[in-house]
Structure 1
Amino acid sequence: MWRRICNLLLMICLFLIFYPIGSGVSLGAAGDGNPSDSNIQYIGRWDKSISSQYNSYWAGAYFRVNFTGTTIKLKVSSSNTVNLYVQLDNGAQTLYSNASGTVNLTPSPLSGGTHTLLVASRDITDTIRFQGLILDEGASTQAPNLRGQQIEFIGDSITVGYKASKIALSSYAWKTGEQLNVDHMQIAYTGICLHDNVSCYSPNAIGMSRQFFKLQTVDNPTSPDWNFNVYQPAAVVINLGTNDQVFNVADSDFQSSYITFLQNVRVKYPLAEIFVLRTFGGFKSTPTQAAVSIRSSAGDTRIHYVDTTGWLASSDYVDGTHPTDAGHQKVANRLAPILKPYVQNLAAGALSTFSSSYESSNWSSANLNDGQRNSVNGSYGWTSNNTLTANHTEYVTLDLGSNQIVNTVNLYPRNDSGDVGQNFPIDFTIQTSVDGVNWTTKVTRTGYALPGNVVQSFDFPTASVRYVKVEGTNLRQNPNDANQYRMAFAEMEIYGVNHASGAYATFSSAYESSNWSYTKLNDGQRNSVSGSYGWTTNNSLTTNHTEYVTLDLGSNQTVDTVNLYPRNDAGQVGKNFPIDFTIQTSTDGVSWTTRVTQTGYALPGNAVQSFGFGSASVRYVKVEGTNLRQNASDANQYRMAFAEIEVY
């Protein structure tokens, strides 16, 4: 008896030695498949307040994880059922209807090795009550590849994917995110209005202007607030107004609600680009556009109105309101190029060079642009390692591989426990170069305050560059590191935003065919390829005359460069590029300012023609050709044509 008691006491003592009280050890560990397994990436709004069961809310919430072994089972609550989709190894999306308890996801074992798993909720009433994964003996989970960026979609049944074959997974929102290879959230509810306190098709007379800020959907009127610190999307897409039209919300009330809603979203997402869509049916387009204009005039420089006129035809709807699967795909094909410049991080995969680098299991030059914005175990970021006891200069440079259009650098401070913002430089510059030898300073900061746990974003005039350097000339001592001098960042991102993406084009004339269309002027295709040669005029073909094309950027944007890509289909390189032309800008589409004047312009080759001018805040950009070029291959007719227009 005494021997058993002594053995028990010995086991308790050993446990307390290795796992002392207050050590913060949780039941779930990385690799074990429990809900708190840090290898599992949760996307969307999840309630993690109960460690043994994480609950998803809103349609299209999902998690991703990799795992080893040949079989895997999913544990969900046995007290409820849920409709969910499962995707293994990027294969087919398999529906599990009314799933409950333990669900065998591999009735036929997989081959050995590492596999990928995605589990997603299908519709607004499908809550995944996730209780863990059951793995093979000796198998473990692994962290999936980071996607880095996130897009949040806010809307009604159209954004949910109502009446589409896979509901949320067939929605334009899901398809757009997947097309851009970014994580995506659908904060949307079937039948909901924007305006609050109106009994629309959704329950409890709650509008999205109120429920968006909650963890749960309108089915839960007492839902707690959502914690917006969980994630900060790079872009937010809003598509609301269809139900407000059906339920006769007055335009003035709708506009007022939209203005306030946009202002409140901006408070929660201070750095996100907000894209407000014209509803696909055109409902409430006037007050929607007015709300965006008012917010833009109030100083919100990261808000955009997207005119969706012509995106869908009557045949693209199931019932006149809800798109078919093909309709959702059409929207995604139009929307993705608009969002791409704002979520495509040019720093991803760039080669880094540096003055010095501390290499360890957590710190590495490779971690500077690995997509991990937070300092997490295994990837704290990059930090210098020279002359630690004296203030000095350090730098890190990213080689983008070739010249890229850039105008923004985002620096993420380190945010490991107790060191948030530490080692962020006090005085520093951001410089660019085309050859890595001659440098141009784009940003200069002195006396920079200790940043908090938020990205530090730096904009500058658009430039075509290959190298981007951050050079710290006055470093910050870290009291938690023996007051040593280092420069450190959790992550570095680089962007170049093309304001022409998604802009609405008007023109003097346009030739419409399978290859030519005004919609192909800014579709992201810089070359004249089959199906997208670009845009060309179609007026007064036998005499010289004036033609123009205008892009409406949706709201005032700060621009300083227009890039014109000549047509370059076989045998036609540079043809129809105007001889005399101007580039003009306007804030209202009525009063114009000429920014560029060219006369006697030579026939261009197969290269972008770039025109820079003084930075200006404008909404409209017009290219007007006053002396056109005859094309001998086209019966010497007079046209103006471009493969693509970009505005930076």
Structure 2
Amino acid sequence: MRFSPVVLLSLVARATATILENGQERLNPYPGQADEVSLDGSWKQYANDAGEISYKGRWDSGFTSWWSVPGLKFGFTGDKLAVSFGKHTSDNVLVAYRVGGLDWEFSNVTADSAYQFVKPESSALEDTEYKDEKTFEMRVTNWVQISSVSVAADASLVKVPEHNKTIEVIGDSLASGQYATYEGLASWGFNFAAGLGNVEYTITAYPGICLTDKRCYGGDARGMKYQWSRASDVGDRANAAFGDSPEAWNFTAHRAADLVIINLGTNDEREQNNISGDEFYRNYVEMVEEVHKAWPDAQIVLMSLWGTFAKSGSTWVQRPIYGSEVKQVHEHFKEEGYVHYFDTSGILQHNDISPGGHPTDVGHLKIASHLMQWTKIKFDWEFSATGPEVQHDTTYWNNQESYKRWVASRRSM
């Protein structure tokens, strides 16, 4: 089957408000709904291009977000904060936000509206003075357009210093968290990068995309080898907006990645796309060369593809895909010294894969945890995340029939 675009979690939140937790519905699956507000003279407004606002991940020149969990971050003073969203914001899209290193909260937002995420009575402001600088961070499960950011009339925005390391994750639905509890915010890509704590990160991942530049599943989307150099992803929304002329991503205008993690090939291998091992290998080599050309000093990590699990007698057997081809790509660049191989074999078990074929929340955490430790040992990077558990308020799904029905209902939306 052809993969659908990333499912809008907001539709689930508003339509069914269902997150399964070991067979039971979670009572408050999306805490933190923000109020829609009208901006009057009690607010000071900053335009979307204000220097105090740092955009994380990929945004186009119109300040519209793309790919997986893009976000924005800035400091602010005062006791209230609002964000205004432009006309290219998806209807009722779900965003996650937090102050400092506190728990993530969740709110639906929609186009041509302003929402107040911080109020004078917000618990996040406890133990802070009016003029104290607080940090605000927002991550987007799907797509928004930022129009402006507003604070109290006598308060201000403040530029937040960036971390000195940058990570780029390049992948498909597995890295973007499709069908995980909070989509990209429950993905191994997010858990890995955010879990390190001392890095900036971009997750350039989208469901259904092939590494090979092919229109997979019979659609109009191109492969990552081409689309990686574009600001927008390969969804229907992007195709409607840009057609065959998507906006180029200006690599020189953004920080170079220090570490690049590539997890691609699952869609190439599907019967509908039928990309041979030789073709996959050639395209993978060219993809690595493109990444190295853009960021000559980056270390590039090729992740093996865990594939599927099949019952064999009284046990389950893992069946990786493109195993020899990914190793061949590593061997091709081995003497160059900047390409590395991360073997995912044995990390996941059959019940870490959901009935829909994607990692469960536990599966995502396993991958992220192993990759974090490997990165620490391999590159001598330290863990420095502050605050609560990175994967906030998520559930650990079982392989249960009720979950299968729920996934099917989400796919039909």
Same fold (TM over 0.5): yes
**Which runs of 5 or more structure 2 residues have no equivalent in the other structure?**
1-43, 308-319, 385-413
Which residue is 1:264 aligned to?
Answer: 290
**Please, which of 324, 329, 351 is the counterpart of residue 315 of structure 1?**
351
Shift in alpha-carbon separation, 1:294–1:78, aligned structure 2, 3 A = closer
Q: Give a deviation string over 1:500-559, Cα, whole Å, max 9, x none.
A: xxxxxxxxxxxxxxxxxxxxxxxxxxxxxxxxxxxxxxxxxxxxxxxxxxxxxxxxxxxx
Q: Which residue of 2 aligns with 1:155?
A: 171
Q: What is the rounded CA distance, in whole Å, between the counterparts of 1:45 and 1:127 in structure 2? A: 11
Residue among 88, 96, 101 paired with 1:90: 101
Could you say what secondary structure the match of 2:64 adopts? strand
Q: 2:85 aligned with 1:47, yes or no?
A: no
Which residue number in structure 2 is paired with residue 76 of structure 1?
A: 85
| Higher percent of residues as helix | 2
Report if aligned partners of 2:97, 2:104 keep a CA contact under 8 Å in 1. Answer: yes
1:136 aligns to what? 152
For residues 79 and 59 of structure 1, do their structure 2 counterparts lie closer, same or farther at Cα, with a shift above 3 Å needed? closer
1:339 to 1:293, Cα distance in 2 relative to 1, 3 A:
same
| Contact 1:234-1:343 at 8 Å conserved across structures | no
| CA distance in 1 between partners of 2:350 and 2:381 (Å) | 36
Match of 2:11 in 1: none
Give the Cα–Cα distance (whole angstroms) in 1 for the partners of residues 54 and 217 of structure 2: 34
**Distance in 1 between residues matched to 2:344 and 2:380, nearest whole Å:** 22
| Shift in CA distance, 255/105, structure 1 to aligned 2, threshold 3 Å | same
SS state of the match for residue 33, structure 1? strand
Residue pairs, 1:603-622, within 5 angstroms? none
Q: 1:38 to 1:218 in 2, by over 3 A?
A: same
Given that 2:208 and 2:216 are in contact with CA atoms closer than 8 Å, whether structure 1 keeps it comes out as no
Measured on the aligned residues, the alpha-carbon RMSD in Å equals 2.2
SS at match of 1:339: helix
Task: Name structure 1 gaps, 5 residues minimum.
Answer: 1-30, 349-648
Partners of 2:154 and 2:201 lie apart in 1 by 33
Query: How many equivalent residue pairs?
Result: 307
**Structure 1 residue 151: deviation in Å?**
0.6
Q: Residue 101 of structure 2 aligns to a residue in which SS?
A: coil
How do 1:52-201 and structure 2 match up within 5 A? 54-78=63-87, 80-81=89-90, 82-100=93-111, 101-107=113-119, 109-110=121-122, 111=125, 112=130, 113-122=132-141, 126-181=142-197, 182-200=199-217
Amino acid at match of 2:208: G
- The 3 A distance-change label for structure 1 pair 267 and 198 is same
Instruction: State the Cα distance separating 1:36 from its structure 2 match.
Output: 2.1
Q: After superposition, what is the alpha-carbon deviation per residue over 1:590-641, rounded to whole angstroms, capped at 9, x for unaligned? A: xxxxxxxxxxxxxxxxxxxxxxxxxxxxxxxxxxxxxxxxxxxxxxxxxxxx
SS at match of 1:159: helix
| Partner of residue 303, structure 2 | 277
Q: Give the conservation status (yes or no) of the 8 Å contact 2:81–2:119.
A: no
Are the structure 2 counterparts of residues 198 and 77 from structure 1 closer, same or farther at C-alpha, using a change threshold of 3 Å? closer
Q: After superposition, where does 1:325-344 map in structure 2 within 5 Å?
A: 325-340=361-376
Determine the structure 1 residue equivalent to 2:47. Answer: 34
Aligned equivalents of 1:79, 1:169: Cα separation in 2: 22
Larger Rg: 1
Partner of 1:235: 259
1:35: how far off? 1.8
Distance 1:199 1:89, change over 3 A: same
**Matches of 1:187 and 1:92, distance apart in 2:** 24
TM-score by length of 1: 0.45
TM-score by length of 2: 0.70
Question: 2:234 and 2:187 mapped to 1: Cα distance?
Answer: 20
Q: Distance in 2 between matches of 1:276 and 1:321?
A: 21
Residue correspondence of structure 1 range 519-558 to structure 2 within 5 A? none
The change in CA–CA distance for 1:99 and 1:184 in structure 2 (over 3 A counts) is: same
Q: State whether residues 64 and 88 of structure 2, in contact with CA within 8 Å, keep that contact through their aligned partners in structure 1.
A: no
Which has more strand, going by share of residues?
1
Q: Per the alignment, do residues 185 and 79 of structure 1 end up closer, same or farther by CA in structure 2, a change over 3 Å counting?
A: closer
Secondary structure class of the residue paired with 1:60: coil
- State the Cα distance separating 1:341 from its structure 2 match: 5.5
Return closer, same or farther for 1:213/1:78 CA change in 2, 3 Å cut-off. closer
Distance 1:150 1:343, change over 3 A: farther
**Percent of counterpart pairs with the same letter?**
25
Which is worse superposed, 248-257 or 109-118? 109-118
Q: Structure 1: how far apart are the matches of 2:215 and 2:330?
A: 23
**AA in 1 matched with 2:214:** N
